Amino acid sequence: MAQENLQAVRSIYERWSEGDFAAGREVFDQHVLFVMGPEFPEAGTYLGLEGIARYTRGFLEPWTRITIEAEELVDAGDSVIVAVRQRGVGDASGALTEFGYFHVWSFRGHKVIRLETFRERAGALEAVGIGAAGAHPQSGAGPFEVS
């Protein structure tokens, strides 16, 4: 099951890398929790599919173009850790941005029950109860780090 969940997450990021942010809705439990860590401007907890939809609408608003790519995925049992690279073009400024962070996708069966965002790798690893030595990257374009 962990391999199937890993592939589901990989597929979602493939679509998000193309700017298709409707992708993945089918894997979320209807009561999913989406948690943005305190180090992010949109910090908070968003409940359910509607909470995620509301967050996503607000998140996409200031961008002309934005993509979110998985640089590396780590199988963590019932969770998948993803090193994320976000690139965008600001709507008002036209400025190019690039930002790295981490997502932790927590599953119950084949449904995501929690998606949490961390600025640092250590926070993501701690959230799933493993240390750096226990992380096993499944794919990657570089080290499991954010620059």
Q: Looking at residue 8, which CATH number applies to its domain?
A: 3.10.450.50
Q: Please report the pLDDT score of residue 134 as a whole number.
A: 55
Q: Please report the pLDDT score of residue 27 as a whole number.
A: 96
Cβ neighbours around 39 below 10 Å, total: 12
Domain assignment present for 36: yes
As for how many domains the chain has, the answer is 1
Domain assignment present for 146: no
Structural domain of residue 48, as residue ranges?
Answer: 2-140
Give the tens place of pLDDT for each residue, 69-127: 999 999 999 999 999 999 999 999 999 999 999 999 999 999 999 999 999 999 999 99
Report the predicted TM-score, pTM, of the whole model to 2 decimal places.
Answer: 0.86
Instruction: Using a pLDDT cut of 70, give the percent of the chain over it.
Output: 88
Domain assignment present for 147: no
Instruction: To the nearest 10°, report the CA torsion of 11, 82, 86, 13.
Output: 0
Domain assignment present for 50: yes
